[in-house]
Amino acid sequence: MSEHKLLINGDLISTGEFLDVINPATGEAFIQVPLANAATLERAVAGAKAASLIWAGTSFQERRELLNKIADRISENVEQIAAQLTFEQGKPLAAAIMEVQFAEGFCRHFAGQEIHSEVLQDSDEKRIEIHRKPLGVVAAIAPWNFPFLIAVYKLAPALITGNSIVIKPAPTTPLTAIILGELIADLVPPGLVNILVDNNDLGPILSAHPDVAKVSFTGSTPTGKAIMANAAGTLKRLTLELGGNDAAIVLDDVNPAAAAPGIFGAAFINSGQVCIALKRLYVHDSIYDEMCDELAKLAKAAVVGNGMEEESEFGPVQNYAQYKKVLSYVDDAKANGTIIAGGVAIDSPGYFVPLTIVRDIEDGHRVVDEEPFGPVLPIIRYSDVDEVLSRANRSELGLGASVWSSNPERAHKVAMKMEAGTVWINQHCAFGPDIPFPPAKESGIGVEWGREGLLEFTAMQVINVNKHYAEPEH
């Protein structure tokens, strides 16, 4: 493979410093990529600031045309991007292809959006207008679970609303963001899109930078709090989509055999490395044993392996630090519950953890109260709906939740009492670019996606006109 380069202020550059990218299926480096430093960051932000002043004056049609060209370029290179995504992230190739296609879809969705000025009041006395203006430079800080999709779904709304962007991917998954920059370098005006790769050292500088108007971050709650603190000096606009420990409540009228596949898929999607994956399953006592059996059967049949091998259905944990963390949650599950699937580390190179399910466990243990962010699912027994709602809502996180029932009206009443930004009924982890995605509690601030998420990339301006103004008499 040819040497990769960073897109910085319109140029594809190599910095002379390099970062090893580890394939989580082997635990070994498979490529080196350029590593930015503080000077690179300053060049990126300066270029983005200059570009934002020009881009803010473009029409929605011009912005739409560019985003559709970017989407076309993604579509033309799905297989290349997906293969590198599997190498750096670990997910099976089919899932990587799906992520790239999702990214294209998000890009095209936001390309089709437009924000119009509104007239709030127009009378003989006054006219009040509401306008939405670009913010300027957006810093997009992306995590390692969906590195390509998240980079694109931050880029698209930023550009359509007239902003420029500096994208900083996670150091463990920088390659597909770099490839994105290389693919669109000849499409975007200089400075409009910048790709900045660091080794976990440039985030504080970027999030505190006086020329950055907004930070859009997806990642852990502790990191989100650090970004919020760094941004406080300049009162930047923030969208923080942070951790989740999503609870699901299965009511007593559910058929376990019918519901188990949907629950299983929502818990173990991307090997559980999803902020809105189902992470705590509360099942009514009357169907508890049967539900445990159905889910264990699915987990035991699952094939965990190298994402480039066709038979693999689930890949490894993405990085070594997270791998060790997930294994600590497996140990907690063993010590405080009954393992009914998985639980034994796979003896092979790479960061593989079998799909692990633990039953007979209670709230108060780490594997229930915290977010493992890996292929570990605790199943907790309950008998009273009001009591389980209290337990489900006890978490300081509130990203998503779900209720499962054969009675939609009954499920809806329970869903309305759950403290989460999104509550699904008879599904979980269902999302799209047209659906607002708000967090609750310490799962973040702001909104991603939908019109509400799009507006987060703009500044509101009110024009208030007094129609009866007259020159003072002399």
Catalytic positions, written as ranges: 241, 275
Cα-Cα-Cα-Cα dihedral of 284, 285, 288, 289, to 10°?
A: -170
The closest alpha carbon to 41, from 21, 13, 4, belongs to 13
Print burial letters for 33-56: b (CB count within 10 Å at least 16), e (below 16): bbbbeeebbebbbbbbbbbbeebe
Angle, CA of 180, 132 and 127, to the nearest 5°:
165
Q: Are strands 444-445 and 237-241 parallel, antiparallel or unpaired?
A: antiparallel
Please identify which residue in the block is written with the tokens 């897109």: 7
Please classify residue 244 by burial: count the beta carbons closer than 10 Å to its beta carbon, then call 0-12 exposed, 13-18 middle and 19+ buried: buried
Both tokens of residue 68?
Answer: 């559709």
Pairwise CA distance, residues 45 & 166, whole Å: 7
Amino acid identity for residue 211 in this structure: D
Provide the β-strand partners of residue 278: 246
- Residue 318's closest CA among 153, 142, 445, 100? 142
The Cα–Cα gap between 431 and 448 comes to 11
What span, in angstroms and rounded, lies between the C-alpha atoms of 255 and 260?
A: 8
